[in-house]
């Protein structure tokens, strides 16, 4: 469609002049042509939706789709469709596939599968060969093919010298290195947060120390080497404080938090529901509050759904043996909006774009139209009918959420929930 007219849309874009104003927005051939109080345009397709709000397109920095190798969990086509219906115009896709995305051919495969899609896919390359933590992967080749960051998904860099070399090497082409905040020798075989609840339930705990030791180590390495470091999905009060102090020292570090850790605590594990078996684990209420505070004051740079589809055979089993992970794209906005409010939720869903080198177009005349459409008001309990992913392993099932995405306009394509 060459002409599209969004009617009576409340604009959420804190950096723009139309913030919190209700406007008509005319889009022509993928570019915002005009924004005004009232517009009429002959031949334009008009979109008029109840309580329509729009913002810059949302970006998720940590999404897993399974393909290649684990298509029974999720394939790229359905994963991107799920992202679009959930309000995401851009996603960074993790390398936890089979084979692992550790070569330029792997990056090319992901980009080719997503070509022409309304949602833009940005590959995250594995930091090490096969994600095994022994030898650096083909980082420069993957970077040239379009990888936006490098990290071994959910696998910590055990060898500090390897991370040191990676941070030094990646400075040559200004690449972003990710390091999972998880010390496996401290976490051992833990399956949930180590605190009162783990003792009471008789489950092995993952102490906050496992996160905090790794963050401390990685920040010392960053201070020594320079470079750009991103610490994904922090979960503890002390972890927030460590990064806050590092930023005050001027270190080039960023971090994210998973939506589940902002909304839920380890009290959820009372019934041994494996949907709540997550990594990082759900922590205590004091940690949850510290994470929210860190997001509000800018210590935490943004949020991720940490969308990780797991097939039923690996999820519906004994708690100790179940795989870590939850899907999250479909519930992200509703959960964030319920916890943070609309303006901060939108900011959290867009603020990591620059860090990952993802385009971020303002809602202004002349800008490329990369837009999320949503209604922040509906209250509802998240249920299986709200899930579009192939896998159903959601930690948000039954939770009270607020707000729904209508869809997106991106790459000259409109996707609306039917």
Mean pLDDT, residues 292-309 taken together: 97
Point out the least confidently predicted range of 1-10, 233-242, 297-306. Answer: 1-10
For residue 1, pLDDT beyond 70:
no
Non-local CB neighbours of 356 within 8 Å, separated by 6+ positions: 59, 61, 92, 122, 148, 149, 176
Percent of the chain whose pLDDT exceeds 70: 100
Taking the chain, what is the end-to-end CA distance rounded to the nearest angstrom?
Answer: 18
User: pLDDT confidence of 32, banded at 50, 70, 90?
Assistant: very high
Residues 38-82: tens digit of each pLDDT: 999 888 999 999 999 999 999 999 999 999 999 999 999 999 999
Can you give the pLDDT at residue 267? 97
Can you give the pLDDT at residue 327? 97
Cα dihedral sign, 301-364-7-88: negative
pTM: 0.96
Is residue 295 within 8 Å of residue 348, measured between CB atoms? yes
- Reduced to 3 states (helix: H, G, I; strand: E, B; else coil), residue 60 is strand
Helix ranges, 259-396 (H): 259-263, 285-296, 312-315, 332-340, 342-350
CA separation, residue 253 to residues 173, 222, 300, 396 (Å) = 17, 8, 10, 30
User: pLDDT confidence of 343, banded at 50, 70, 90?
Assistant: very high
User: pLDDT confidence of 2, banded at 50, 70, 90?
Assistant: confident
User: Active-site residue numbers?
Assistant: 306
Helix ranges, 115-273 (H): 139-145, 160-170, 184-187, 196-201, 208-225, 237-248, 259-263
Non-local CB neighbours of 409 within 8 Å, separated by 6+ positions: 4, 6, 27, 369, 370, 371, 373, 415
Residues 154-210: tens digit of each pLDDT: 999 999 999 999 999 999 999 999 999 999 999 999 999 999 999 999 999 999 999
Residues 99-136: tens digit of each pLDDT: 999 999 999 999 999 999 999 999 999 999 999 999 99
For residue 266, pLDDT beyond 90:
yes
Can you give the pLDDT at residue 384? 96
Can you give the pLDDT at residue 164? 98
Can you give the pLDDT at residue 418? 72
Can you give the pLDDT at residue 391? 96
For residue 279, pLDDT beyond 80:
yes
Domains of the chain as residue ranges with CATH = 3-53+365-380+397-416 (2.30.40.10), 57-350 (3.20.20.140)
How confident is the prediction for the chain on average, in pLDDT?
A: 96
């Amino acid at each position: 469609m060459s002409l599209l007219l969004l009617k009576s849309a409340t604009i959420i874009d804190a950096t723009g002049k139309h913030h919190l104003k209700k406007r008509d927005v005319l889009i022509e051939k993928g570019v915002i042509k005009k924004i005004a109080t009232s517009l009429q345009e002959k031949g334009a397709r008009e979109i008029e939706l109840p309580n329509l709000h729009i913002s810059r397109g949302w970006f998720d920095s940590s999404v897993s789709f399974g393909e290649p190798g684990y298509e029974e969990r999720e394939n790229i086509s359905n994963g991107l469709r799920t992202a679009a219906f959930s309000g995401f115009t851009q996603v960074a896709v993790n390398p936890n596939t089979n084979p692992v995305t550790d070569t330029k051919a792997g990056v090319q495969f992901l980009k080719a599968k997503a070509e022409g899609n309304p949602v833009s896919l940005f590959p995250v390359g594995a930091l090490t060969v096969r994600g095994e933590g022994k030898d650096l992967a083909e980082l420069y080749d993957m970077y040239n093919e379009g990888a936006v960051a490098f990290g071994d998904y959910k696998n910590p860099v055990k060898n500090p010298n390897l991370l040191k070399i990676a941070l030094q090497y990646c400075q040559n082409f200004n690449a972003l290195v990710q390091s999972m905040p998880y010390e496996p020798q401290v976490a051992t075989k833990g399956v949930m947060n180590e605190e009162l609840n783990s003792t009471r339930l008789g489950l092995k705990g993952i102490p906050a120390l496992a996160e905090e030791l790794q963050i401390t180590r990685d920040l010392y390495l960053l201070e020594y080497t320079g470079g750009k470091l991103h610490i994904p999905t922090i979960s503890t009060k002390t972890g927030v404080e460590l990064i806050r102090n590092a930023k005050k020292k001027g270190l080039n570090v960023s971090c994210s938090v998973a939506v589940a850790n902002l909304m839920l605590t380890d009290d959820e594990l009372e019934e041994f529901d494996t949907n709540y078996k997550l990594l990082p684990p759900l922590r205590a209420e004091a940690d949850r509050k510290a994470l929210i505070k860190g997001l509000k004051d800018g210590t935490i740079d943004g949020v991720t759904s940490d969308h990780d589809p797991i097939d039923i055979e690996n999820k519906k089993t004994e708690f100790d043996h179940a795989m870590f992970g939850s899907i999250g794209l479909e519930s992200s906005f509703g959960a964030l909006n319920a916890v943070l409010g609309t303006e901060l939720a939108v900011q959290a869903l867009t603020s990591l774009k620059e860090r990952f080198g993802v385009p971020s177009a303002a809602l202004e005349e002349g800008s490329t139209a990369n837009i999320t459409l949503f209604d922040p008001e509906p209250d509802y309990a998240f249920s299986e009918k709200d899930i579009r992913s192939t896998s159903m392993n959601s930690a948000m099932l039954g939770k009270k959420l607020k707000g729904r995405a209508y869809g997106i306009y991106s790459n000259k394509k409109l996707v609306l929930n039917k």
